[in-house]
Amino acid sequence: MNDFGRLFRVTLYGESHGPAVGVILDGVPPGLSLAEDDFSADLARRRGGPAGTTARSEPDHPRIRSGLYHGHSTGTPLAIEFENTDTRPGDYAQFERYPRPGHADLASRARYRGWADPRGSGHFSGRLTVGVVAAGVVAKKLLPGVSFRTLVLEAGGRADVAAAMQEAQAAGDSVGSLVEIHVDGLSSGLGEPYWDGLESRLAAALFAVPGVRGVEFGDGFRVAAMRGSEHNDPILDAEGRTERNGAGGINGGVGNGNQVVVRVAFKPPSSIALPQDTVDMDTGQRARVSAAGRHDACLGPRGAVVLEAACAIVLADLALAARCHAAPESTP
Judged by CB under 8 A, the residue of 130, 135, 138, 203 near a copy of itself is 203
3-class DSSP assignment, residue 284: coil
Interface positions, 287-316, toward a copy of itself (CB under 8 A): none
CA pair distance 144, 164, nearest whole angstrom: 36
Cβ atoms of residues 278 and 98 within 8 Å: yes
Interface positions, 248-267, toward a copy of itself (CB under 8 A): 248, 250-257, 265-267
β-pairing verdict for 260-266 and 212-217: antiparallel
Interface stretch with a copy of itself, choices 35-43, 46-54, 172-180, 301-309 (CB under 8 A): 172-180
Residue 308 makes CB contacts below 8 A (sequence gap 6+) with 42, 136, 148, 150, 181
Q: Which among 260, 248, 262, 275 is positioned nearest to 204, based on CA atoms?
A: 262
Interface positions, 133-152, toward a copy of itself (CB under 8 A): none
Does position 104 interact with a copy of itself (CB under 8 A)? The reply is yes
CA pair distance 308, 43, nearest whole angstrom: 12
CA pair distance 64, 23, nearest whole angstrom: 10
One-letter amino acid for residue 247 of the chain: A
Judged by CB under 8 A, the residue of 53, 54, 150, 177 near a copy of itself is 177
Interface stretch with a copy of itself, choices 20-28, 38-46, 47-55, 301-309 (CB under 8 A): 20-28
β partners of residue 118: none
Does position 169 interact with a copy of itself (CB under 8 A)? The reply is no
Backbone angles phi, psi at 108, to 5 degrees: -60, -40
Does position 220 interact with a copy of itself (CB under 8 A)? The reply is yes
Does position 52 interact with a copy of itself (CB under 8 A)? The reply is no
Judged by CB under 8 A, the residue of 269, 303, 312, 315 near a copy of itself is 269
CA pair distance 65, 321, nearest whole angstrom: 26
| Total residues at interface with a copy of itself (CB under 8 A) | 166
Q: Which among 67, 62, 20, 72 is positioned nearest to 41, based on CA atoms?
A: 62
Interface stretch with a copy of itself, choices 37-45, 53-61, 121-129, 301-309 (CB under 8 A): 121-129
To the nearest whole angstrom, how small is the minimum distance from the Cβ of residue 159 to a copy of itself?
12
Site string for a copy of itself, 57-76 (x = CB under 8 A): ------xxxxxxx--xxxxx
Judged by CB under 8 A, the residue of 50, 157, 170, 184 near a copy of itself is 157
Does position 195 interact with a copy of itself (CB under 8 A)? The reply is yes
Q: What is the sign, positive or negative, of the torsion defined by CA atoms of 243, 248, 252, 257?
A: positive
Distances from the Cα of 294 to the Cα of 51, 91, 239, 244, 269, angstroms? 12, 9, 50, 43, 12
Interface stretch with a copy of itself, choices 39-47, 52-60, 100-108, 301-309 (CB under 8 A): 100-108
Judged by CB under 8 A, the residue of 162, 163, 223, 292 near a copy of itself is 223
Please identify, using beta-carbon distances, which residue of 44 and 226 lies nearer to a copy of itself. 226
